[in-house]
Structure 1
Amino acid sequence: MPNDDEAPTGAPRRITILGATGSVGRSTADVVRAHADRFVVEAVVGGRDAGALADLAVALGARFAAVADEAAGPALSEALAGTGIACGAGEAAVMEAATREADVVLAAISGAAGLAPTVAAMRPGVTIALANKECLVSAGVAFMAQARRLGVTLRAVDSEHNALEQALGAGRPEDVTALTLTASGGPFRTWERERLARATPKEALKHPTWSMGAKITIDSASLMNKGLELIEAHHLFSMPAERLEVLVHPQSIVHGLVHWRDGSITAGLAAPDMRIPIVNALSVDGARLDLDVARVDFAALGGFTFERADTERFRCLALAQAAMAQGGGAPTVLNAANEIAVAAFCAGRIGFFGIADTVEAALDAMSAARLPAPGSVADALTLDAETRARTREILQDRASRPIS
């Protein structure tokens, strides 16, 4: 079996990293630095931390850096003065970064904010390494249609979808009967309802397995993240909602299972290290890249455990599953309402159960079950904005009610 040194290298691939200062972006930077002969960094995009973005741009030798927060523009310019790295700030700069010539675009801007730049990065022949599940939750039909029309290659970066992508290579798509995504269960897996009702943002951010950004960590605690991933898998793998399921697996070694018509099951396993799916998504023509990561010691683990997800304690998962089954605009509403609800929870305005209550109220208020699927990215962003406004009204109305 050939090793990495024997694999043909060709010209270095140009890569743009959208969301470079987040956890996935930093892990991607680690992979790119480890394979400096394979990649040339075209552009990096960050949110508002100009200093961190400048440091990353210099370390990677990026040609262009963009910070989304316009107010951070002067700080970025000052930090990059004399480096020869061009830079910009605000929405136009982010879109410039997304549309610069690149072979691979790592899409890791968090939330629905990543939708427009990711779609802007699409062009014939480009590979989108997708770490932003909201692209498919908010605008799945339009996003996938655009990718097919332009001949864009989509590679999954979420550990679960990357595991499924690899495991699906064991057979024909038409022979798949079901897909299983696993969940760690988050920090509240064993908590009783009474304790969950008093859970704080600080407690929700103590994930037992993964080191991630605040929003996705809260989503993991509520199991909404797994619901969003189910919708992502629905679009990525053209799998009907009823053939997608979730198992809680606290060890986070088995990331996905493919069930075949002959009763066989193919599993995707790996240590819980985001660099593993990233390096796989950045590989070319099946030639895997080296990664300095310890092998999983199965003997030391002793065994795996699996549990059914509790959708009574974690209603966000049930809401996501219902939105996926309804289709249309329901997933768009679900995602937008959840982003507002999570922000309210982090600000101490609602309790942990208030996240699911708020999302459910927004789905009802927007009559999500009867909304058509957004036909374009613009339609998705319009529905997203309308949902956010309605969700804020719901929160404000509840806050103004007298306590009985």
Structure 2
Amino acid sequence: MVSPAERRTVTVLGATGSVGGATVDLIERHAERYDVEAVVGGRDAAALAQIAIRLGARRAVVADETQGSALASALAGSGVAASAGERAILDAAAVPVDWTMAAIAGAAGLAPTVAAVRRGGTIALATKECLVCAGAAFMAEVARAGATLLPVDSEHNALLQALGGQSVDDVETMTLTASGGPFRTWTAERIADARPEDALRHPTWSMGAKITIDSASMMNKGLELIEAHHLFAIGADRLDVLVHPQSAVHGLVTFRDGAVTAGLGPADMRVPIAHTLGFPERLATPAARLDLARLGELTFEAPDLVRFPALRLAREALAEGGAAATVLNAANEVAVALFLARRVGFMDIPRIVEETLGMLLGRPSAAPATVEDALALDREARRIASERLPVAQFRAH
């Protein structure tokens, strides 16, 4: 039994998303350990209200201000305070708690996550844009606040565990694995004709739309390389990617003596989330156990940078340094949204990113010194990317 003094206070940013849902599930299963300060969602007021009531949260905040009254109505009489809008999210994120799940997707998650970082505590980071869009500035904020940053992405969490507390100076390479997505075996011509519904059919993971499209293009793996660079303070030349369709091995660490350790687990986000939620203790999860005998084999292959140019662009942005990763991320978010809206084709995603990089990086491009600088560059990159529509409009078929 956990004593009141041992209970942890928690806030969930992005509670209505896929990572948020897995987090809510774990908190409910270990309700005796946690007191929920706040839950934050995007625009689904009804779903957010249900989560807040189930967790006994003190407050619930919906990002879409037009949904504020709906949230208040859904929470009437529950004792849960309701609010809406960007300012309310920042206020909720800034309330001191022991642990925060940072899972607001996209660059929109940057400011709330920084607000959480600045008051210290443990940050479970699922919002990769914090490190991709503003890596150096974000890590400086973490250092200044003395916050503990724990990665939630299955790959980075696996690398953290495989590292085993040893120095990165002893590491020769860190390798992220990729499932290869739904187009791993498709020809370049077939990929070019892919529709949103094709790209959303991920073979092993259940995720939100944007990250699923990123997985299909392999941009997701490129963004994760940039994340790993900042998380582990490791050079781009010591980071690698392998395609591993079974999604059992999530990350490998090769040490300078030749030893290799690997982080394995089922394709269930509750496993890495539980690692951060209970850290340094282990929490029980209902995730299916990895049955290697039933799996039979583990295969690996090098990524194809011709069929998946998005990964090449991300590698180049990481090597370029400066503002390249910020521009890459912003342009990709715009391009993915256009593809999901059927306004561009699948291969227009890397084209838009590459053209935006070319237009913005011809000028001096130092890395953003502050989070505010990163957000300003993000806005400019989005504007330019939005203008990079194809001459002939794409037609879904």
Q: TM-score, normalised by structure 2?
A: 0.96
Is contact 1:330-1:368 (8 Å) kept?
no
Is 2:50 the counterpart of 1:50? Answer: no
Computed over aligned residues only, the root mean square deviation of the Cα atoms, in angstroms, reads 1.6
Equivalence for 2:180: 185
For 1:189-200, list aligned pairs within 5 A. 189-200=184-195
Change (3 A) 1:125 1:349: closer
Is 2:35 the counterpart of 1:35? Answer: no
The CA deviation at 1:370 is 3.7
Change (3 A) 1:369 1:207: farther
Is 2:162 the counterpart of 1:167? Answer: yes
Is 2:9 the counterpart of 1:14? Answer: yes
1:398 to 373, 391, 394: 391
> 2:245 aligns to what SS in structure 1?
coil
Runs of at least 4 residues off by over 3 Å: 7-10, 397-401
Change (3 A) 1:400 1:342: closer
Kindly provide the amino acid, as one letter, of the partner of residue 372 in structure 2. A
Equivalence for 1:83: 78
**Whole-Å separation in 1 of the counterparts to 2:119 and 2:373:** 23
Kindly provide the amino acid, as one letter, of the partner of residue 284 in structure 2. D
The CA deviation at 1:124 is 5.0
**Whole-Å separation in 1 of the counterparts to 2:3 and 2:172:** 36
> 2:287 aligns to what SS in structure 1?
coil
Change (3 A) 1:326 1:369: farther
Kindly provide the amino acid, as one letter, of the partner of residue 357 in structure 2. L
Is contact 1:328-1:369 (8 Å) kept?
no
For 1:246-261, list aligned pairs within 5 A. 246-261=241-256
For 1:246-325, list aligned pairs within 5 A. 246-284=241-279, 286-325=280-319
Greater CA drift, 308-317 or 8-17: 8-17
Is contact 1:183-1:246 (8 Å) kept?
yes
Is 2:109 the counterpart of 1:120? Answer: no
2:57 to 41, 59, 62: 62
**Whole-Å separation in 2 of the counterparts to 1:139 and 1:400:** 33
Runs of 5+ in structure 2 lacking a partner?
none
Is contact 1:326-1:369 (8 Å) kept?
no
Kindly provide the amino acid, as one letter, of the partner of residue 27 in structure 2. V
Kindly provide the amino acid, as one letter, of the partner of residue 129 in structure 1. A
The CA deviation at 1:123 is 3.3
The CA deviation at 1:122 is 1.5
Change (3 A) 1:260 1:367: same
Is 2:345 the counterpart of 1:354? Answer: no
> 1:371 aligns to what SS in structure 2?
coil
2:330 to 328, 336, 340: 336
Equivalence for 1:176: 171
Greater CA drift, 386-395 or 174-183: 386-395
- Give the percent of matched residue pairs that are identical in Structure 1 and Structure 2: 60
**Whole-Å separation in 1 of the counterparts to 2:111 and 2:339:** 26
**Whole-Å separation in 2 of the counterparts to 1:85 and 1:65:** 7
Q: What is the aligned residue count?
A: 394
**Whole-Å separation in 2 of the counterparts to 1:353 and 1:345:** 9
Change (3 A) 1:165 1:9: farther
Runs of 5+ in structure 1 lacking a partner?
none
Is contact 1:330-1:369 (8 Å) kept?
no
Kindly provide the amino acid, as one letter, of the partner of residue 355 in structure 1. I
The CA deviation at 1:9 is 8.7
Is contact 2:96-2:119 (8 Å) kept?
no
Equivalence for 1:363: 357
**Whole-Å separation in 2 of the counterparts to 1:176 and 1:123:** 30
**Whole-Å separation in 2 of the counterparts to 1:234 and 1:263:** 21
1:133 to 128, 141, 147: 128
> 1:178 aligns to what SS in structure 2?
strand
**Whole-Å separation in 1 of the counterparts to 2:11 and 2:129:** 19
The CA deviation at 1:318 is 0.3
Greater CA drift, 92-101 or 48-57: 92-101
> 2:347 aligns to what SS in structure 1?
helix
**Whole-Å separation in 1 of the counterparts to 2:150 and 2:375:** 23
